[in-house]
Amino acid sequence: MLKMIGQRLMTTIPSIIGVIIVTFLLTRVLPGDTAAYFAGPAASPQAIAEIRGKLGLDQPLPVQFVSYVTALLKGDLGQSLTTGQPVTRDIAARLPASAELTLVGLLLAMAVALPLGVLAAVKQGSWVDHLCRIVATAGVSLPVFFTGLLLVYVFYFLLGWSPAPLGRLDVFASEPPGVTGFLLIDMLLARDLEGFRAAFSQLILPAVTLAIFSLAPITRMTRASMLAVLGADFVRTARASGLTNSKVIGTYAFRNAMLPVVTTLGMVFSFLLGANVLVEKVFAWPGIGSYAVEALIASDYAPIQGFVLTMAVMYVALNLMIDVLYGVIDPRVRLEG
Amino acid sequence: MTITRRTAIAAGLSLPFAARGGAAQAQAPSRSETLLLVQEYGPNSLDMQGIGSSQPVNGVALNCYDRLLRFKPVPIPGGGGNTIAMGELEGELAESWQLAPDGMSCTFKLRDATFHSGRKVTAKDVKWSLDRAVSIGGFATTQMNAGSLEKPEQFVVVDDKTLRIDFIRKDKMTLPNLAVTIPFVFDSELAIKNGGDDPWAKDYLKNNIAGSGAYKVESWKPGVETIYVRNDAWTCGKLPSLRRIIARDIASPSTRRALIERGDADISYGLPPKDFKDLADAGKVNVVGVPIPNGVWGCYLNTQVGPFKDVRLRQAVAWVMPYEKMLQASLFGRGVDMSGGPETPKVAWPQAFPYKTDAAKAKALVDAAGGGFSTTLLFDAGNATVAEPMSVLIKEALATIGINVEISKVPGANFRGEIQKKTNPMVLNRFAGWLDYPDYYLFWTMHGNNSIFNIAAYQNPALDKLVDEARFTADKAVYDKSVVEFIKLVNVEVPMVPIAQPTHDVAMQKSIGGYQFQPCREPDFRYLTKG
């Protein structure tokens, strides 16, 4: 197993190098003058030149690249101009917020989508199957920011059930000491149940928004995969052996149907990290997505490069995890490496 | 009962709902002493003199630091709070000030004030801070120069409590320029001690407040929120009534609007004009709109390259603009119309130009200049809520006189680059100067010094002469005459067609009082009251 992980890691190095080069070039090739933007309201040509010099933008591209990579090796992603802080610190502060939101969204989606998909497959053509189709279509055809705004409008603005969409915590709640960066966990560690409740209620709407968006692929994949497995010989054998229906579906069929579903989950997860960008805007979520968008609008190079790099590394790690998970679900995968 | 893995997980999951812990809420300050402000984005630094500081940093400078002088509040006509009178100043750190008989220097007596660190404010601190402002470069130095404050030698420490500023020339903007958010006073000892090798302590002051102002920064999470707490030892004015301010950055305007409508936010800044109009009409919250002093939405026509080199075409554009429609469709009435003014200008800026919508006149001018053509109109995507409908209306109107306009919308970062090139034939932009003088506005937008905001690349020695004369004369009659003359000139030459003077709108709950407008357009917490 360790050998497999090692080998897989080796293959990721070229892709990371590729990502570094491409993002560096892209941010430079794109139009937009960082220095002019940050010189402020009454920018004189000298002020612009001064900023350009300070940012090293007056150097030739190869020189800029070398200094970028040198800094990168030291773990320095540069300074963000939009927040005025080191990018590494910004990302470290914001990544847990995005990850927590995405994970909760994904868990919610799974909690609904897996049973729905299985039921739809078992009772093919029944009302459950139709419901499954409607839910999937509706979820995937609504843009996330629209779902988000709609939920805010209904549950916060009209009904007043949900707290104000002001980010991760109510303004009057105090933050727990940061241990994991995941507020829910940190609140529990600090034994602050009131705080946990506050953080949890802030999280519900954005997480539901993400969950609605990701229902479709998971439900459809579960259904298709279950259908394929239910038609397989070993299921027929199991039924013929007189095993109960629940045992056949729960133990034999579901377990075997999970492999493609896990692949889909991996894809949906990285997909959600992207969809986050808009949800974070609507809910004022201090995550990495809204950070990247603001940097992009301001032609702020360092955070964009940092964001893309972080995402690339996460994507690689995620794929690695899925490969390992394959081995756990189906031991045959392990032999191939 | 045996504890299995399943019961353990179930217990863990139900734990948060089992008991109520109340310790966290106990020490939090009450809602009536705390103000919740929602805004689009927050400060990217705590040092307004530093290079690259964003607009909201002005708010930090305003509330956490003191200047020698401040603008005197005057009631907003129509109510809702106070605005400022540019010509009337009151002391902030200065207890009193005295102009020399020859008018070439001013001596300031300092109040007995204390920095947040507990040290007394001295004239040495003031000198260090003003030296820094004129030497640090970038926007701070440019702004200081606008009031003829250019060299450290101008600032002289007389004794611990007395500072003299020597003037290079007589400039009516020198004193008002001491009241804007740039020349604020640092605790110089604290700054130098923490500055390391940097004599101006740029890195330290970017992340720390070292001032004597009415508020201190309790916590600052860039891009998330800034929390201010009152400095109870503040002596440079009436102690503010709000103990704590939470300024949250919320990017989505719909969310900011929902928060203010539901009553969860106390003040909301920077909504699109349509939202302000709706909120004002609904009447549940107060909307205070102050016409931005020295601010105009204008269509700049390039006088150096492209078709608009021909003055007749520039006039044609001014005659065909659908002014009223633009004011309603893009600003939703939140502004002042700039058309149909008198032939002889008043001594004021901005003011309505004599042009109004008259397609026949415009058509005649285009025909005289050789007929129709195609061109492009550029605007900043960051201003799209206003500029987009505006540009569509311009396109429509110009089509009727044979000018085919292609609209080009570019993101903020590219926009600065584009206007710097000075090659775009038509640009839609909003510019507002802090110091409310006609000559100041024209110095930035039409003077031969060709600043980045002279988007029309306008060059005219006659105008430069009039603007310079107005800037530095001490004689009111000469000033008035020059202003009238240069506005007359601009009326004919139209390097920019003024469309509307926008209002600066703020929405707040009915329980909020003491609103104070400042030229930097950031909230002034020192006067606000709640409940």
Question: B296-504: what fold?
Answer: Dipeptide-binding Protein; domain 3 (3.10.105)
Instruction: Provide, as residue numbers in chain B, all residues whose Cβ is less than 8 Å from the Cβ of A89.
Output: none
Considering CB atoms only, which of A46, A82, A192 is closest to B21? A192
The answer for B 377-396 residues in CB contact with A (under 8 A) is 382
Q: Is B263 on the interface with A (CB under 8 A)?
A: no
- Chain B residue closest in CA terms to A170: B264
B162 exposure class (CB count in 10 Å sphere: 0-12, 13-18, 19+) = middle
Question: From residue B396, how far is each of A183, B302, B374, B404, B419 by CA, in Å?
Answer: 53, 20, 13, 9, 24
pLDDT of residue B453: 87
Instruction: Name the residue type at position A127.
Output: W
Question: From residue A332, how far is each of A233, A325, A337 by CA, in Å?
Answer: 19, 12, 10
B202 and B163 in contact (C-beta within 8 Å)? no
Instruction: Provide, as residue numbers in chain A, all residues whose Cβ is less than 8 Å from the Cβ of B252.
Output: 149, 281-282, 284
Using only C-alpha atoms, chain A has a radius of gyration, in whole angstroms, of 24
Considering CB atoms only, which of B22, B262, B411 is closest to A194? B22
User: To the nearest whole percent, how much of chain A has pLDDT over 70?
Assistant: 94
Q: Is A93 on the interface with B (CB under 8 A)?
A: yes
Q: Is B26 on the interface with A (CB under 8 A)?
A: no
B354 and B379 in contact (C-beta within 8 Å)? no
Which residue reads 């509307």 in tokens?
Answer: B500
Model confidence at A42, in pLDDT bands (50, 70, 90)? low
Q: Is the dihedral of CA B136, B137, B142, B148 positive or negative?
A: positive
3 state DSSP class of B383:
helix
How far is it, in rounded angstroms, from Cα A38 to Cα A9?
Answer: 40
Q: Is B21 on the interface with A (CB under 8 A)?
A: yes
For testing the chain B interface, which of A146, A159, A194 should be mutated: the one with the most B CBs within 10 Å? A194
Beta-carbon separation of B138 and A51 below 8 A: yes
Q: Is A89 on the interface with B (CB under 8 A)?
A: no
Instruction: Name the phi and psi angles at B105, rounded to 5.
Output: -160, 165
Each residue's pLDDT tens digit, A246-266: 888 877 888 788 888 888 888
Considering CB atoms only, which of A149, A152, A299 is closest to B413? A299
Considering CB atoms only, which of A32, A80, A90 is closest to B417? A32
pLDDT of residue A1: 67
Q: Where are the beta strands (DSSP E) in B302-425?
A: 335-337, 373-380, 403-410
Each residue's pLDDT tens digit, A172-231: 777 777 777 788 888 888 888 888 888 888 888 999 988 888 888 888 888 888 888 888
Beta-carbon separation of A174 and B28 below 8 A: yes
Instruction: Provide, as residue numbers in chain A, all residues whose Cβ is less than 8 Å from the Cβ of B224.
Output: 167, 286
Using only C-alpha atoms, chain B has a radius of gyration, in whole angstroms, of 26
CA distance A89 to chain B (A): 11
For testing the chain B interface, which of A193, A205, A280, A283 should be mutated: the one with the most B CBs within 10 Å? A193
3-state SS track over chain A:
CHHHHHHHHHHHHHHHHHHHHHHHHHHHHCCCCHHHHHCCCCCCHHHHHHHHHHHCCCCCHHHHHHHHHHHHHCCCCCECCCCCCEHHHHHHHHHHHHHHHHHHHHHHHHHHHHHHHHHHHHCCCCHHHHHHHHHHHHHHHCCHHHHHHHHHHHHHHHCCCCCCCCCCCCCCCCCCCCCCCCHHHHHHHCCCHHHHHHHHHHHHHHHHHHHHHHHHHHHHHHHHHHHHHHCCHHHHHHHHCCCCHHHHHHHHHHHHHHHHHHHHHHHHHHHHHHHHHHHHHHCCCCCHHHHHHHHHHCCCHHHHHHHHHHHHHHHHHHHHHHHHHHHHHCCHHHHHC
CATH 3.40.190.10 range(s) for chain B read 32-249+509-530
- Chain A residue closest in CA terms to B255: A282
Q: Where are the beta strands (DSSP E) in B258-371?
A: 267-269, 286-291, 295-301, 335-337
Question: From residue B481, how far is each of B82, B352, B355, B445 by CA, in Å?
Answer: 31, 18, 22, 20
Low-confidence residues in chain B, pLDDT < 50: 1-3, 5, 15-27
Beta-carbon separation of A36 and B417 below 8 A: yes
Which 8-state DSSP code applies to residue B256? H
Considering CB atoms only, which of A44, A82, A153 is closest to B451? A44
Which 8-state DSSP code applies to residue B30? P
Q: Averaged over A7-26, what is the pLDDT?
A: 83
A20 and A309 in contact (C-beta within 8 Å)? yes
pLDDT of residue B19: 39
Q: Is the dihedral of CA B417, B504, B321, B355 positive or negative?
A: negative
Q: Is the bond preceding B350 in cis, omega lying within 30 degrees of 0?
A: yes
B148 and B171 in contact (C-beta within 8 Å)? yes
pLDDT of residue A44: 67
Q: Is the pLDDT of residue A47 over 90?
A: no
Beta-carbon separation of B258 and A152 below 8 A: yes
Instruction: Provide, as residue numbers in chain B, all residues whose Cβ is less than 8 Å from the Cβ of A191.
Output: 21
CA distance B23 to chain A (A): 8
Distance from the Cα of residue B92 to its chain's centroid: 20
Beta-carbon separation of A43 and B258 below 8 A: no
Q: Which residues contact A72 (CB under 8 A, 6 or more apart)?
A: A20
CATH 3.10.105.10 range(s) for chain B read 296-504
User: Got the DSSP string for B309-325?
Assistant: GSHHHHHHHHHH--HHH
The pair of three-digit structure tokens given for residue B493, joined into one six-digit string:
């030459």
Q: Give the residue among B272, B260, B282, B258 at the shortest CA–CA distance from A151.
A: B258
Beta-carbon separation of A284 and B249 below 8 A: yes
Beta-carbon separation of B25 and A194 below 8 A: yes
How far is it, in rounded angstroms, from Cα A232 to Cα B78?
Answer: 80
Q: Is A153 on the interface with B (CB under 8 A)?
A: yes
Q: Is the pLDDT of residue A312 over 90?
A: no
Domains of chain A in sequence order: 8-73 (no CATH), 91-298 (1.10.3720.10)
Each residue's pLDDT tens digit, A67-114: 888 888 888 888 887 788 888 888 888 888 888 898 899 999 989 888
Beta-carbon separation of A188 and B15 below 8 A: yes
A187 and A176 in contact (C-beta within 8 Å)? yes
How far is it, in rounded angstroms, from Cα B55 to Cα B40?
Answer: 11
Cβ atoms within 10 Å of B354's Cβ, excluding its own: 15
Model confidence at A337, in pLDDT bands (50, 70, 90)? very low
Q: Is A152 on the interface with B (CB under 8 A)?
A: yes
Beta-carbon separation of B52 and A164 below 8 A: no
pLDDT of residue B524: 95
Q: Which residues contact B434 (CB under 8 A, 6 or more apart)?
A: B143, B180, B294, B519, B520
Beta-carbon separation of B252 and A42 below 8 A: no
- Chain B residue closest in CA terms to A194: B21
Question: From residue B116, how far is each of A90, A96, B64, B121 by CA, in Å?
Answer: 28, 34, 9, 10
Question: B32-249+509-530: what fold?
Answer: D-Maltodextrin-Binding Protein; domain 2 (3.40.190)
Q: Is A318 on the interface with B (CB under 8 A)?
A: no
B178 and B68 in contact (C-beta within 8 Å)? yes
Q: Which residues contact B15 (CB under 8 A, 6 or more apart)?
A: A188, A193
Instruction: Provide, as residue numbers in chain A, all residues whose Cβ is less than 8 Å from the Cβ of B17.
Output: 197
Q: Is the pLDDT of residue A43 over 80?
A: no
Instruction: Provide, as residue numbers in chain B, all residues whose Cβ is less than 8 Å from the Cβ of A174.
Output: 24, 27-28
A vs B, Cβ pairs < 8 A, gives 186
Instruction: Provide, as residue numbers in chain B, all residues whose Cβ is less than 8 Å from the Cβ of A47.
Output: 51, 137-139, 142
3 state DSSP class of B267:
strand
Instruction: Provide, as residue numbers in chain A, all residues whose Cβ is less than 8 Å from the Cβ of B453.
Output: 42
Beta-carbon separation of B452 and A43 below 8 A: yes
Model confidence at A48, in pLDDT bands (50, 70, 90)? confident
Beta-carbon separation of A284 and B52 below 8 A: no
Which residues face B407 on adjacent strands? B377
Give the range with max mean pLDDT: A51-55, A235-239, B53-57: B53-57
Considering CB atoms only, which of B36, B252, B444 is closest to A42? B444
Q: Is B13 on the interface with A (CB under 8 A)?
A: no
CA distance A6 to chain B (A): 32
A115 and A218 in contact (C-beta within 8 Å)? no
